[in-house]
């Protein structure tokens, strides 16, 4: 009996020692944890946060002016009423529910104070051990104030919803307009910028006019509607292969889109788009997809900014001159990658890969290991023009037509961050594919109605 009691007592002592040691390790880990603050929850920020959250020695705070992540490549489908905003968006707090060391802070970035390891946001100050900028880009109007004030950009969910409201309101207005010239101005659309976004939104609008708007608005004549795709460059889809450029141009013109290359927009005022050569187009809709510039980062010294206001970083995405501040994605300019000596293209895959690589490097630095220099794995580019019309440049391969269209759908579908988004988007795409229509053309104005007097 005494022997049994002795064994139990020894077991209790062992358990107590293990509990004390474990508590000590947890206390040490909590005291020794590093706080990583990520500004921006786009492709780069969300992938960095997700991968880094697996390492419990980091305390992570993601800061964003929106309370949701969204998928920019599909904004134009929200703008044209083929997808709901919720299809391409997901709340950060729900995404982080099962991640004990990851927190979200709502508020736009205001300024960084590197000497204090502190940032200021619209909702307060946050201190950091490591700071990561993943803020992306904003529309670049090249100093044209009238264009900035009057054009419709395509950078945010709010932009997409505003464009949808704008187009549908003009259609309704045109049905009541007796003057043919005024009606044509209401119905004409100019898309500035012949990159992937410009090509995709103009192609989608052209198909809608052919198959949808003629049924929704029988009062309007097809010939009164004109879509212009304009660009200062001599080609469409400048980053893609010449074959893709030529095929896309032919498809766009086949849809009835008037493509005006070597046409630089110089002004947009009083419903008139003016080009550098003096030519003009009258329209109430100028969709601006023509250029981007890095978002401003007050508090960083002027010498860390390069071309396009992008932040200069080394091979590990460290901001020039700093050991504890990093930048990833569209906002950074890295020239250390031998394959891309002029910097990487501002594409989603670059941001995703840089976010994941930085997460690995932060863990390696934390454990005393050697970091890995970033090398971009180019998986190709693609653009959709319309139903069964697309181009894809993959490493060593080129596709067009239905195959490229199918590849585009698969890649974009599985790039959405949650199954819920994937299922809802797939459903809406299938409805649109078989009916060439969709029932999401609502005018939703968040402004409250004025009370009647």
Catalytic residues: 200
Find out whether 39 and 332 touch, Cβ atoms under 8 Å. Answer: no
Structure token pair of residue 374: 């970033």
Distance between CA atoms of 74 and 159, rounded to whole angstroms? Answer: 12
Q: What Cα–Cα distance (Å) separates residue 176 from each residue in 144, 163, 215, 285?
A: 33, 21, 16, 18
Distance between CA atoms of 213 and 438, rounded to whole angstroms? Answer: 11
- Return the ∠ at Cα 118 (arms to 115 and 120), rounded to 5°: 125
Distance between CA atoms of 258 and 247, rounded to whole angstroms? Answer: 15
In the block, tokens 């067009």 appear at 400
Length of the chain: 453
Distance between CA atoms of 99 and 319, rounded to whole angstroms? Answer: 28
The alpha carbon dihedral of 316, 109, 321, 140 has a sign of positive
Distance between CA atoms of 398 and 352, rounded to whole angstroms? Answer: 23
Distance between CA atoms of 419 and 442, rounded to whole angstroms? Answer: 25
């Amino acid at each position: 009996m005494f022997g049994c009691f002795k064994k139990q007592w020894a077991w209790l002592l062992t358990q107590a020692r293990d509990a004390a040691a474990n508590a000590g390790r947890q206390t040490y880990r909590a005291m020794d944890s590093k706080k990583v603050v990520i500004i921006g929850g786009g492709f780069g920020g969300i992938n960095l946060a997700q991968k880094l959250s697996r390492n419990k020695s980091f305390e992570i705070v993601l800061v964003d002016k929106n309370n949701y992540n969204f998928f920019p490549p599909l904004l134009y489908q929200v703008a044209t009423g083929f997808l709901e905003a919720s299809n391409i968006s997901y709340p950060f707090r729900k995404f982080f529910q099962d991640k004990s060391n990851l927190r979200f802070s709502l508020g736009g970035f205001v300024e960084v104070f590197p000497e204090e390891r502190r940032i200021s946001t619209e909702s307060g100050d946050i201190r950091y051990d490591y700071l990561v900028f993943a803020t992306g880009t904003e529309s670049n109007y090249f100093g044209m104030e009238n264009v900035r004030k009057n054009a419709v950009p395509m950078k945010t969910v709010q932009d997409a919803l505003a464009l949808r409201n704008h187009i549908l309101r003009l259609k309704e207005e045109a049905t009541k307009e007796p003057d043919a010239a005024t009606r044509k101005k209401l119905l004409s659309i100019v898309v500035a910028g012949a990159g992937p976004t410009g090509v995709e939104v103009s192609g989608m609008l052209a198909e809608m006019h052919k198959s949808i708007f003629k049924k929704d608005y029988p009062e309007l004549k097809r010939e009164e509607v004109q879509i212009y795709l304009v660009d200062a460059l001599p080609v469409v889809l400048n980053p893609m292969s010449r074959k893709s450029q030529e095929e896309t141009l032919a498809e766009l013109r086949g849809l009835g889109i008037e493509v005006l290359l070597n046409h630089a927009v110089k002004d947009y005022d009083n419903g008139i788009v003016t080009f550098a050569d003096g030519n003009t187009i009258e329209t109430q809709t100028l969709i601006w997809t023509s250029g981007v510039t890095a978002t401003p980062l007050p508090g960083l010294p002027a010498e860390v900014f390069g071309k396009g206001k992008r932040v200069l970083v080394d091979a590990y995405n460290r901001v020039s001159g700093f050991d504890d501040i990093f930048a990833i994605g569209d906002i950074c300019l890295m020239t250390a990658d031998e394959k891309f000596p002029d910097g990487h293209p501002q594409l989603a895959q670059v941001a995703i890969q840089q976010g994941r690589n930085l997460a690995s490097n932060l863990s390696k630095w934390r454990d005393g290991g050697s970091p890995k220099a970033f090398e971009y794995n180019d998986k190709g580019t693609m653009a959709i023009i319309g139903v069964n019309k697309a181009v894809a440049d993959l490493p060593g391969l080129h596709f067009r037509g239905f195959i490229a269209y199918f590849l585009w759908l698969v890649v974009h579908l599985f790039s959405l961050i949650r199954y819920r988004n994937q299922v809802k988007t797939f459903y809406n795409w299938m409805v649109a594919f078989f009916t060439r229509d969709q029932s999401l053309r609502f005018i939703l104005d968040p402004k409250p109605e004025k009370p009647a007097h």
